[in-house]
């Protein structure tokens, strides 16, 4: 079997996917109000109680939203001493990918966002969680960095709090991210689109380098 994930992790992913798929299907067929937790759980082959072990509410199941996760390998690769905006963008991108299900259900989600635009707000709240997570990471890494400790006396960072500097960096990266997302997609869900973002970001980074 696939050694990448343990049996436990694989089953967890399967259950999650089954619940999401069932919820999304119900939403498309019967409308959002027609989504009944009990039926969705039945369709996924688990109890209604288990549904709430995976999603805090119906809407998140329909959209396939999860709390953001920071991939340890990504954290390892993160270089606080390198190209800051690039590094943070890459980090944020990787975390962003984790709040929504894989490509299998991308089609379903796209149609749902189309039918129920107000649900986009729910996804926005998860993006805020992503920012918080990235911010915390950048803040701690920056605080421990040579870049911060040995910043020259004429650095524009002088006289500022580490927290404020980290906050501003993340916000800047985030703003660009949102700009790209707005421009590039109507429904930013699939991994393919995320990859497109990677390249668009490279481009943008060069453009903004002149502005910042």
Interacting residues with DNA (CB under 7 A): 6-9, 11-12, 15, 35-38, 45-50, 52-54, 56-58
Task: Decide which of a second copy, DNA, none touches 52; Cβ closer than 5 to 8 Å per partner kind.
Answer: DNA
- Minimum CB separation of residue 51 from a second copy in Å reads 12
In the bound complex, what is the minimum distance in angstroms from residue 18's beta carbon to a second copy? 13
Question: Contacts with a second copy: how many residues (CB under 8 A)?
Answer: 5
Q: Which of residues 15-44 bind a second copy (CB under 8 A)?
A: 42
- Cβ distance to a second copy smaller for residue 46 or 143: 46
Determine, following the binding rule CB under 8 A, whether residue 4 of this chain makes contact with a second copy: no
Residue 132 to residues 59, 109, 159, Cα–Cα distance (Å): 22, 24, 24
User: In this structure, are residues 176 and 90 in contact, taking their beta carbons and an 8 Å threshold?
Assistant: no
Query: What does the alpha-carbon distance between residue 30 and residue 145 come to, in Å, rounded to a whole number?
Result: 53
CB-CB contact of 18 with 45 (8 Å): yes
State which residue, 46 or 84, has the beta carbon closest to a second copy.
46
- Least distance (Å) from a second copy to the CB of residue 7? 5
Q: Residue 15: name its binding partner from DNA, a second copy, none (Cβ under 5 to 8 Å by kind).
A: DNA
Q: Is 53 in the site for a second copy (CB under 8 A)?
A: no
* Structure-derived torsion over alpha carbons of residues 163, 164, 169, 170, reported in degrees to the nearest 10: 60
Residue 157 is given by DSSP the state T
H runs (alpha helix) in 31-119: 37-44, 48-54, 58-63, 72-77, 84-97, 106-115
Q: Toward a second copy, which CB reaches closer, 10 or 178?
A: 10
Count Cβ atoms within 10 A of the Cβ of residue 91 and give its class: 0-12 exposed, 13-18 middle, 19 or more buried. Answer: buried
Give the binding site for a second copy (CB under 8 A).
1, 7, 42, 46-47
């Amino acid at each position: 079997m696939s050694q990448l994930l343990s049996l436990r992790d694989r089953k967890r992913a399967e259950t999650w996917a089954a619940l999401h798929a069932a919820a999304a299907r119900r939403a498309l067929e019967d409308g959002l109000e027609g989504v009944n937790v009990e039926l969705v759980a039945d369709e996924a082959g688990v109890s209604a109680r288990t549904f709430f072990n995976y999603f805090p509410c119906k809407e998140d199941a329909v959209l396939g939203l999860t709390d953001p996760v920071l991939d340890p390998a990504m954290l390892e690769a993160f270089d606080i001493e390198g190209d800051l905006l690039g590094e943070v963008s890459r980090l944020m991108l990787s975390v962003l990918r984790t709040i929504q299900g894989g490509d299998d259900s991308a089609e379903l989600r796209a149609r749902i966002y189309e039918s129920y635009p107000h649900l986009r707000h729910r996804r926005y709240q998860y993006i805020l969680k992503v920012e918080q997570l990235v911010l915390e990471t950048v803040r701690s890494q920056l605080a421990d960095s040579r870049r911060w400790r040995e910043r020259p006396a004429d650095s524009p960072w002088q006289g500022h709090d580490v927290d404020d500097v980290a906050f501003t960096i993340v916000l800047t990266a985030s703003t660009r991210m949102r700009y790209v997302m707005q421009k590039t997609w109507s429904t930013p869900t699939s991994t393919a689109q995320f990859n497109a973002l990677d390249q668009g970001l490279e481009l943008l980074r060069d453009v903004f380098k002149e502005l910042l």
